[in-house]
Amino acid sequence: QVQLVESGGDSVQAGGSLRLSCVDSGSPWSDNVMAWFRSGVGKEREGVAAILPGSGSKYYADSVKGRFTISRNNRKNQIDLQMSSLNPEDTGTYYCAAVRYQYGGNWLNADQYTSWGQGTQVTVSS
């Protein structure tokens, strides 16, 4: 059973950086697509970034391209989200998500995912 635990959320000034981490204590890690989503007040849950197993292909929301980087460490069963040039629009609760890989998925769509963490709060002030 997949169990996801996020960490790294904090309050930062606009222009700052944060690194979020998600550890997956379940299995099979190596078969899972891993992703980050976020939700804010009055906003639907938004896919931020996803990374595939095997190829390590990455997908990003247009709003974070060039600023966020997703990575995975298969030895640690961990994914990270390095966030830079943060702005107040990035404020929200960030969730880690996982699903077993199947061909043709829409990896920034929350409906694809079967396991979720509890979330970690990111607050960016201007």
Mean pLDDT of the 57-79 span: 95
Which amino acid makes up residue 11? S
pLDDT at residue 18, rounded to an integer: 98
CA distance 90 to 60: 14
- 69-96 tens-digit pLDDT: 999 998 888 999 999 999 999 999 999 9
Is 64:47 a contact under the CB 8 Å cutoff? no
CA distance 114 to 98: 6
